[in-house]
């Protein structure tokens, strides 16, 4: 049998732990939003303009995912492009300031799954 005071302490710890976790998640979301706002302020090339550049490397492809991020010192638009007849994804990085294509990589379904895990 657990003494009454100990039960309250355990409940309090569980509640406090849950509140702390929620606060950390909220702070992480706020930081991520702030980072995205800073990247958007630096970008001179719109998502649509960058997508046109990226799609030129994957004719007939469709953008499945787009993300503005900082990579290797560059602010880039990163696109995952699916091409009909292929399970591979073409990942294209376009400089969000100059509009230059910086990288083109092909990811197999196995690589895509490993990246998400």
Tell me the whole-structure pTM to 2 decimals. Answer: 0.69
Which residue segment(s) compose the domain that 6 sits in? Answer: 1-42
Instruction: For residue 115, give both structure tokens.
Output: 């990246």
Q: Let me know whether 29 and 14 are in one domain.
A: yes
Measured CA to CA, the distance from residue 40 to residue 70 in angstroms comes to 11
Report the number of distinct structural domains present in the chain: 2
Q: Let me know whether 87 and 64 are in one domain.
A: yes
Residue 90: Cβ within 10 Å count: 20
Residue 77: Cβ within 10 Å count: 26
How would residue 2 be classed by pLDDT, with cut points 50, 70 and 90?
low
Q: What is the pLDDT of residues 52-89, one digit of tens each?
A: 999 999 889 999 999 999 988 899 999 999 999 999 99
Q: Let me know whether 53 and 96 are in one domain.
A: yes
What confidence score (pLDDT) does residue 69 get?
Answer: 94
Q: What is the pLDDT of residues 25-37, one digit of tens each?
A: 655 555 778 888 8
Residue 84: give its domain's CATH number: 3.10.450.40
């Amino acid at each position: 049998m657990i003494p009454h005071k100990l039960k309250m302490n355990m409940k309090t710890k569980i509640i406090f732990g849950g509140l702390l976790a929620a606060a950390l998640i909220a702070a992480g979301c706020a930081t991520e939003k702030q980072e995205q706002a800073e990247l958007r302020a630096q970008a001179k090339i719109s998502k649509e303009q960058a997508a046109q550049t990226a799609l030129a490397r994957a004719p007939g492809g469709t953008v499945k995912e787009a993300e503005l991020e900082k990579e290797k010192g560059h602010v880039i638009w990163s696109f995952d492009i699916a091409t009909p007849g292929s399970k591979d994804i073409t990942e294209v990085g376009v400089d969000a300031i100059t509009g230059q294509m910086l990288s083109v990589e092909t990811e197999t379904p196995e690589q895509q799954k490993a990246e998400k895990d």
